[in-house]
Structure 1
């Protein structure tokens, strides 16, 4: 299938940014969750950075975590001070980050080891769930220390990426 040249560059994602209350606590959480150490820790800010975000001024402490297929920016806003937001998955503009795993049982064991409770019991998609395909795909939702919506998926069928 040939890609439309008007959308060239929009076929892959570079990173996801997650705003957190406490950078150190979140680094510990995401390193424990993924088993990957952060690659960089720094601070950025000033009027130019603020302008691109629609702010008057900003200072951001951050860390970068490189997953196999996506980078994560973990961001602690110092100026302006971050405001708490809380989204349920069914709310408009809510987003979540989904981690792909090969073994759901092993992933659930890892969550338990780092004292993270899933939002509910994991499910495995079956025909009665209303899907036309993807049977055997396992999913579960959970949250990071700041309440960010996260998901685990052990994909099958059309949920499984090619290549």
Structure 2
């Protein structure tokens, strides 16, 4: 039972069309699945990733058209990182962001890696992180039809940063329950605040870290458009996920039980600071119901929703994701 790294991050958008434009045409990610939120089928669930949606490359969005403004604060997943192949790739992205008017903070250092912090049009807090020195979990392969050159493209998820008012209980979950290891620290972005702690799992490296920020000066975050709903961690297979369920149950941690998301199986629980964690299996993957060449072009529904397709599609605003 070993967490292999980041599986996916799920966030909130108020506008699927604009979200699709930014993440595919600006960031060059591939829409590998256009589906719906299985818990509320009136909203889109969009999955952006590498060429085939390999585990650890996946950034997803729930569309909530009436989602309000996010008031940033504690008890949150406050930065989602996206990996790029090299330091040189970051120079490309600086020029691209300048040309396309993307708000960014230039190149800085984060735990010995070069990074660019930036935001999407809804204020989603993001960072591009260089994989040049990575010796841990390998990244994916950018889609060859992306508007971004493959050697500069996004290859997967980097560290997720959690911001909490009380780090001790979160650390206990990360280390004693999930098996993460403390591997270092780096200075906080705000003067006078504690160093940011880095926790690693599996093979380690850019795709297998959680960065924990302790903030004493913030209210609790009020989520909305541009906020993160949950972070998911990789579990090898269903049998191992069932073992995790038993372990978490034995520890009396409230949880969802095993949930079938069709493209993967999941287990959800909240750590003590209220952040939603998911454990998700690596398979069966996004090519289960669509050909690789046509991923994300049509509304994909798991078999248990297929008989409601007409009803579901009638509630969705049309979103053209076909390339040709």
TM range, normalised to the smaller chain? 0.5 to 0.7
Residue equivalent to 1:64: 47
Q: Is the 8 A contact 1:142 1:150 kept in 2?
A: yes
Asked if 1:82 corresponds to 2:67, the answer is yes
* Inter-partner Cα distance in structure 2 for 1:32 and 1:113: 13
* Inter-partner Cα distance in structure 2 for 1:97 and 1:161: 20
Residue equivalent to 1:121: 106
Asked if 1:110 corresponds to 2:93, the answer is no
* Inter-partner Cα distance in structure 1 for 2:103 and 2:58: 24
- Secondary structure at the aligned position of 1:110 is classed as helix
* Inter-partner Cα distance in structure 2 for 1:70 and 1:21: 22
Counterparts of residues 43-54 of structure 1 (less than 5 Å): 43-45=36-38, 49=39
Q: CA deviation at 1:65?
A: 1.2
Residue equivalent to 1:21: 14
Q: CA deviation at 1:155?
A: 4.3
- Secondary structure at the aligned position of 1:121 is classed as strand
Unpaired stretches in structure 1, ≥5 consecutive residues? 51-57, 126-130
In terms of fraction of residues, the more strand-rich structure is 2
* Inter-partner Cα distance in structure 1 for 2:21 and 2:102: 13
Residue equivalent to 2:309: none
Count of paired positions:
130
- Secondary structure at the aligned position of 2:26 is classed as helix
* Inter-partner Cα distance in structure 2 for 1:117 and 1:82: 21
- By relative contact order (CA 8 Å, sep 6+), the higher-ranking structure is 2
Unpaired stretches in structure 2, ≥5 consecutive residues? 139-324
Asked if 1:31 corresponds to 2:24, the answer is yes
TM-score, normalised by the number of residues in structure 2: 0.36
2:80 to 97, 106, 110: 97
- Secondary structure at the aligned position of 2:18 is classed as helix
RMSD across aligned positions (CA): 2.5
